[in-house]
Structure 1
Amino acid sequence: MRAFIFPGQGSQSVGMGKALSEASTVAREVFQEVDDALGQRLFRIMTEGPEDQLTLTENAQPAIMANAIATLRVLEKEGGIRLADKAGFVAGHSLGEYSALCAAGALDLATTARLLKLRGQAMQAAVPVGVGAMAALLGADIEKAQGLADAAAQGEVCTVANDNDPSQVVISGHRGAIERAIELVKDHGIKRGILLPVSAPFHCPLMQPAADAMAQALADAALQAPLVPVYANVTAAPVADAETIKALLVEQVTGRVRWRESVVAMFDNGVHEFVEFGGKVLAPMVKRSAQDANATSVISMDDIEALMKGL
């Protein structure tokens, strides 16, 4: 069985989508539809920069989604392939969960773009710049990371935000607590702690104002049951009920991205092939979490054509 997976924030880069749009009318239509939905020239920022504009959370989130969905749409339309025939499940890392839901027909493209724009704005506004921080812990499993977060908190927020794979966990919270955690890594048997260049402390309780904003937006959004179940970040379990999906997307803003657990659960459920669309971040994580799985990143037309032959 196969799962289609979609990357999260950090996978953006200036020039993204340019070659694909030049090679495919289908891709150009996706980028134009996103621009129209947002009322901005996001595709120009994606292809030309400047980089600081692309990395703004409110731009990066819809941009990463647009690039992933364009890649998938080219495969579907030019390859005559239906997602439901080729994938048993979909999943995405953080904002990638929205891409996964769009891919599986639960959200239309314009709605997905607008929700991610709002999500980015709400997450940025939830915490004043400089108050929060995030750090990647290298050589840390979930138990070591949790122990470190508990020790560093000292009355502030310090929690596991992303359980990415057996060797990488990300923590999030108040800047002081995250800085303390980095100083304490060796005491907890962790190789290294690296402060991440992010503008807000995602996936921790400090994001509650953003969760409230998304609860309101999702309540009004048209969301259908997906064509195939989506593995939700916060439960690491498949879900196909529209109202449950909405509730989990709200919970996801402050909750842990249980990516490692999701990959292991999918593998245990018979998924032995993972195809990442629009990025090359998740495939290596998959291989570290489920070593016997096949994981492929699909970005270029060459990648798409190679995948067509293998499906």
Structure 2
Amino acid sequence: MSVAFVFPGQGSQTVGMGKALADAFGPAKAVFQEVDEALGEKLSAVIFEGPAETLTLTENTQPALMAVSLAVIRVLEAEAGLDLKRDAAFVAGHSLGEYSALAAAGALTVADTARLVRIRGRAMQKAVPVGTGAMAALLGLDFDTAAAVAAEAAQGQVCQAANDNGGGQVVVSGDKAAVERAVELAKTKGAKRAMLLTVSAPFHCALMQPAADVMAEALSKVTVKAPVVPVVANVLAKPISDPAEIVRSLVAQVTGTVRWRECVGFMAGAGVTTFYEAGAGKVLTGLAKRLAEGATASAVGTPDDIAAFKASRG
């Protein structure tokens, strides 16, 4: 049980992701159809064909990435005999990916997850008027230094550490002027680079409270089951299985820090030596290799990746 499955978040999307899987494997195609039905629209057409600007709208990106991740898991179950309960010690996902992890582990249905992340995407977009918030990456600072920079830059506004990605990558989020101050301040504190990110809203900070309220209401209307494998929660950096605690952590996650460095550290400390990133891109694969010394990490998102996964399991 030295295996963990991790699920990517926003930023990993590309037009065409998941198409080869859907073309090659019935279970993958079925997931995209299920998401289309749940949302009442052909999101799969946007995922497979674009345009990119439609896919990158937060309300589309979130269910799209979840669909690709779940398609991968369904194909692994059908083609490689994957059984998360038997084969994985933990699942975890980065921000939006936490929903994918919960769906993969059976805590949420795919249809409910698609609707929840569509609501989440819209609520996060609407929480702050466009242009008033910002996010910035501070590279080369440890988390405590970056958090101190954010606190100093706030000056009565919101500026907080949003993502602790590890490897000297911390993202801060908040009011635009405060985040701009943090970028300048970080350079004086030894940051290798500090730059504003192209994002549509300041995620994972106190400005997202309206979205957290929306998610609390949305989550109260769906059935959350105990996952078949513990989910390492973003805001707690520890595994949880109790449905009420899962809901609380998902609500807290909207305004709270994604503690990814600590999540990976927890899993590695608990004996995980192999990480599989299920879905689009390879962001978490790179982070796992840096954060979990001696661990192997690989991305599974294409038919070739499925074949490699099957081969590795003999």
Structures share a fold, TM > 0.5? yes
Q: CA deviation at 1:80?
A: 2.3
The one-letter amino acid of 1:66's match is A
Partner of 1:178: 179
Q: CA deviation at 1:238?
A: 0.4
Cα deviation per residue 1:111-144 (whole Å; 9 max; x = unaligned)? 0000000000000010000110001111121012
Q: Does 1:75 pair with 2:81? A: no
- 3-state SS of paired residue (2:161): strand
Q: Does 1:48 pair with 2:49? A: yes
What does 1:195-214 align with in structure 2 at a 5 Å threshold? Answer: 195-214=196-215
Partner of 1:306: 308
Partner of 2:15: 14
Cα deviation per residue 1:76-116 (whole Å; 9 max; x = unaligned)? 01222211111111000000000000000000100000000
Count of equivalent residues: 311
Partner of 1:118: 119
Partner of 1:296: 298
Alignment RMSD, CA only? Answer: 0.8
Q: Does 1:100 pair with 2:120? A: no
**Mapped partners of 2:171, 2:293: distance in 1:** 21
**Mapped partners of 1:167, 1:297: distance in 2:** 22
- 3-state SS of paired residue (1:220): coil
- 3-state SS of paired residue (2:220): helix
> More displaced, 58-67 or 141-150?
141-150
The one-letter amino acid of 2:97's match is G
Partner of 2:246: 245
Partner of 1:61: 62
TM-score between the two structures when normalised by the length of structure 2: 0.98
**Mapped partners of 1:80, 1:97: distance in 2:** 23
Cα deviation per residue 1:134-169 (whole Å; 9 max; x = unaligned)? 011111210121121112111110000000013101
**Mapped partners of 2:38, 2:87: distance in 1:** 29
**Mapped partners of 1:247, 1:3: distance in 2:** 23
Structure 2 stretches lacking a partner, 5+ long:
none
**Mapped partners of 1:5, 1:169: distance in 2:** 19
Q: CA deviation at 1:173?
A: 0.2
The one-letter amino acid of 1:99's match is S
Partner of 2:266: 265
The one-letter amino acid of 1:89's match is F
Q: Give identity over the alignment, percent.
A: 59
**Mapped partners of 2:298, 2:81: distance in 1:** 20
Q: Does 1:282 pair with 2:284? A: yes
Partner of 2:156: 155
Q: CA deviation at 1:309?
A: 2.4
TM-score between the two structures when normalised by the length of structure 1: 0.98
Q: CA deviation at 1:65?
A: 0.4
Partner of 2:194: 193
Q: CA deviation at 1:236?
A: 0.1
**Mapped partners of 1:68, 1:296: distance in 2:** 14
Q: CA deviation at 1:301?
A: 0.9
The one-letter amino acid of 2:308's match is A
Which contiguous aligned blocks of 4+ residues in structure 1 show a shift greater than 6 angstroms?
Answer: none
Check whether the contact 1:142–1:166 (CA below 8 A) recurs between aligned residues. no
Check whether the contact 2:187–2:194 (CA below 8 A) recurs between aligned residues. no
**Mapped partners of 1:79, 1:285: distance in 2:** 25
Check whether the contact 1:144–1:189 (CA below 8 A) recurs between aligned residues. no
Structure 1 stretches lacking a partner, 5+ long:
none
Cα deviation per residue 1:16-72 (whole Å; 9 max; x = unaligned)? 111111111111111010000001111111111111110000000000000011011
